[in-house]
Amino acid sequence: MQILDGKELAKEIRQELAAEVEKRAAMGKRAPHLAAVLVGDDPASQVYVRNKVRSCEKVGFRSTLIRKGADTTEAELLGIVQQLNADETVDGFIVQLPLPGHINEERVTLAIDPRKDVDGFHPANFGRMAQGLPCYLPATPAGVMEMLRRYEIETSGKEVVVLGRSNIVGTPMSILLSRKGSPGNATVTLCHSRTQDLAAHTRRADILVAAIGIPEFVKADMVKDGVVVIDVGINRVDAPGTEKGYRLCGDVDFESVGSKASWITPVPGGVGQLTVVSLLINTLKAANGEVFA
Ligand SMILES: NC(=O)C1=CN([C@@H]2O[C@H](COP(=O)(O)OP(=O)(O)OC[C@H]3O[C@@H](n4cnc5c(N)ncnc54)[C@H](OP(=O)(O)O)[C@@H]3O)[C@@H](O)[C@H]2O)C=CC1
Ligand SMILES: Nc1nc(=O)c2c([nH]1)NC[C@@H]1CN(c3ccc(C(=O)N[C@@H](CCC(=O)O)C(=O)O)cc3)C=[N+]21
């Protein structure tokens, strides 16, 4: 079993991004600027947003964090989105999900100017992705594609099974891997909670992508020998006696599945690391005006 090391790869990509920032500076261009809006006090979201801000610092990007209380109204949030849309010093921004229950996530996503939608969640970007046009790719699937590319994992003609069909992970993942290109050209099966005999599908997978949000759901008897495992899940499970009181685990039982796998991503230190750098890659593209000319 070999590890797909997200942490190491993220470091490598950050160095490349830092070099791009230098290049821009030499041409008299300012640092790329990412803004993030965090509403409420979801503990996991706080960690993710902090990681994004920290990553910006590491590569020399400018970042702005806008924190709002859980009682923020939808109208207020839409006002912030409009301000960020209009702010020429901001190249791209994200509104961290999930939002508090009284705010309609769809309405907020639709309000973001697609040219600044570095999450790639706006239907304009999603549609362009599906058609293979220039777009901001959603960060997590983009990170997985980058990982497959850099580790030279062959996907062409392979059986890929994706678990989970969310708009931000499973569905775009299935589209990107089935599209023409490298990585790509795979034969993709998309499974979800209504799938019958899930294990019959997963056992056929050459590459298994798990994004369902159930701790250690995928067990050794559900995969074949030599499978490549991309574990997108990030789950907090109670761990009494530890400093934090919880530990992180993926949607895959790392120990048992790892012993059958050829390659596997750890959690943490896997896909999550690349999600953050993919957001930076999109922000650089936004600053360079590469996507929407
Ligand atoms: N590493 C990273 O950067 C990121 C990690 N994540 C993590 O990935 C996981 C998935 O998140 P997200 O994509 O938002 O997913 P959602 O929570 O939005 O959706 C879960 C998906 O899994 C499916 N599902 C649920 N139970 C089962 C089951 N028993 N068998 C088969 N399919 C099932 C659901 O099916 P149905 O549609 O039928 O309900 C749904 O499509 C979470 O752990 C999340 O924390 C998320 C984003 C980024
Ligand atoms: N608008 C929006 N955009 C997102 O991109 C978005 C979102 N909302 N909501 C939630 C998911 C999840 N997500 C992660 C970000 C960082 C890590 C990350 O840094 N993970 C580290 C450590 C995590 C930890 O220590 O808790 C790792 O896996 O090694 C993971 C997951 C972005 N998401």
pLDDT tens track for 193-208:
999 999 999 999 999 9
Q: Which pLDDT does position 200 carry in this prediction?
A: 98
Catalytic residues: 52, 96, 119
Ligand 2 touching residue 96 (CB < 6 A):
yes
Same domain, 84 and 162: no
What is the sign, positive or negative, of the torsion defined by CA atoms of 118, 228, 188, 211? negative
Bridge partners of 229, per DSSP, are 208, 264
Half-sphere CA count of 106, side-chain side, radius 13 A = 1
- Residue with CA nearest ligand 1 atom 2: 272
Q: How far is Cα 109 from Cα 258, in angstroms, rounded to an integer?
A: 37
Residue of 146, 231, 232 with the most ligand 1 atoms within 8 Å of its CB, for mutation: 232
**66: annotated binding-site residue?**
no
Same domain, 64 and 153: no
Could you give the ipTM of this predicted complex?
A: 0.96
Same domain, 94 and 212: no
What confidence tens digit (pLDDT) does each residue in 129-185 have? Answer: 999 999 999 999 999 999 999 999 999 999 999 999 999 999 999 999 999 999 999
Q: How far is Cα 15 from Cα 69, in angstroms, rounded to an integer?
A: 35
CA of 27 to the centre of ligand 2 (A): 33
Number of domains in the chain: 2
Nearest to 43 by CA among 94, 95, 118, 98: 98
- Is 16 among the domain residues? no
Same domain, 62 and 145: no
What confidence tens digit (pLDDT) does each residue in 231-259 have? Answer: 999 999 999 999 999 999 999 999 999 99
Q: How far is Cα 122 from Cα 253, in angstroms, rounded to an integer?
A: 33
Half-sphere CA count of 128, side-chain side, radius 13 A = 16
| Residue that terminates a domain, selected from 78, 113, 148 | 113
CA of 149 to the centre of ligand 2 (A): 21
Amino acid at residue number 144: V
Same domain, 97 and 163: no
Q: How far is Cα 112 from Cα 220, in angstroms, rounded to an integer?
A: 42
Same domain, 144 and 267: yes
Question: At 54, which CATH number?
Answer: 3.40.50.10860
- Is 287 among the domain residues? no
Half-sphere CA count of 261, side-chain side, radius 13 A = 28
Same domain, 148 and 267: yes
| Residue 293 pLDDT exceeds 90 | no
CA of 271 to the centre of ligand 2 (A): 9
What confidence tens digit (pLDDT) does each residue in 8-34 have? Answer: 999 999 999 999 999 999 999 999 999
Name the average pLDDT for the chain: 97
Question: At 255, which CATH number?
Answer: 3.40.50.720
Phi-psi region of 285 (alpha: psi -120 to 50; beta: other; left: phi over 0): alpha
DSSP reduced 3-state for 191: strand
- Is 282 among the domain residues? no
Same domain, 145 and 73: no
Contact 257, 264 (CB under 8 A): yes
Q: How far is Cα 88 from Cα 83, in angstroms, rounded to an integer?
A: 10
Which range marks the domain in which residue 70 is found?
27-113
- Is 180 among the domain residues? yes
Please tell me the number of the ligand nearest to residue 231's CA: 1
Q: How far is Cα 108 from Cα 193, in angstroms, rounded to an integer?
A: 27
Question: Taking the chain, what is the end-to-end CA distance rounded to the nearest angstrom?
Answer: 44
